[in-house]
A and B are shown apart, each in its own frame.
Chain A
Amino acid sequence: MSERRRPRREDRTASTEPASISGNNVIWMGGRRGPEPWVEQLRPGHPRRDRTVAKLHAVLLRAAFHELSRRLGQPRSISGPEFDDLAQQAADDALINVLARLDDFRGLSRFTTWAYKFVMFEVSAKVARHAWRRQPPSRHELAFERVPDPLAAGPGDRLEQQEQLKALAVAIGKLTERQREVFVAIALNDVPIDVLAIQLGTNRNAIYKNLFDARRNLRAGMAAAGHPVPERDAA
Chain B
Amino acid sequence: MTDLRRLDELLRAEDGDAGCTAGEDILDAYVELELAGEDPALVFPGTAIHLQSCPGCQTDHDGLLEAARRFAHVKPQ
Contacts and interface: CB of A to CB of B under 8 A. Distances in A.
Interface of A: 9, 12-13, 15, 17-18, 21-30, 37-38, 41-42, 48, 51-52, 55-56, 59, 62-63, 66-67, 70-71, 74, 108-110, 112-114, 116-117, 119-121, 123-124, 150-154, 156-157, 161, 164-165, 168, 186-188, 192-194, 204-205, 208-209, 212-213, 215-216, 218-219, 222, 229-232, 235
B19 A109 contact: no
Contacts of A48: 76-77
Contacts of A70: 62-63, 66
B11 A218 contact: yes
Contact of B2 (A13, A29, A152, A208): A152
B67 A108 contact: no
A157 B11 contact: no
A232 B4 CA distance: 9
B55 interface: yes
Interface size class of chain B, counting residues whose CB lies under 8 Å from the partner chain: 35 or more
A7 to B, nearest CB: 13
A93 B23 CA distance: 20
A125 to B, nearest CB: 10
A113 B5 CA distance: 34
A27 B67 contact: no
Nearest to A195: B56
Chain A CB within 10 A, most for which of B3, B17, B50, B53: B17
A164 B3 CA distance: 11
A230 B2 contact: no
B3 to A, nearest CB: 8
Nearest to B65: A113
Contact of B31 (A109, A188, A209): A109
A192 B55 contact: yes
Given A30-B43, A109-B28, 19 more contacts: A12-B24, A21-B50, A22-B18, A27-B44, A28-B42, A48-B76, A113-B28, A113-B67, A113-B68, A117-B27, A123-B63, A154-B1, A168-B7, A194-B56, A204-B56, A208-B19, A212-B17, A222-B11, A235-B8
A212 B52 CA distance: 12
B22 A151 contact: no
11 contacts: A13-B24, A25-B45, A29-B29, A51-B77, A108-B32, A112-B71, A113-B32, A117-B64, A124-B60, A193-B56, A232-B9
Contacts of A21: 17-19, 50
Name the 8 nearest CB pairs between A and B, nearest first.
Answer: A24-B22, A109-B28, A215-B13, A108-B29, A21-B19, A24-B18, A205-B20, A193-B56
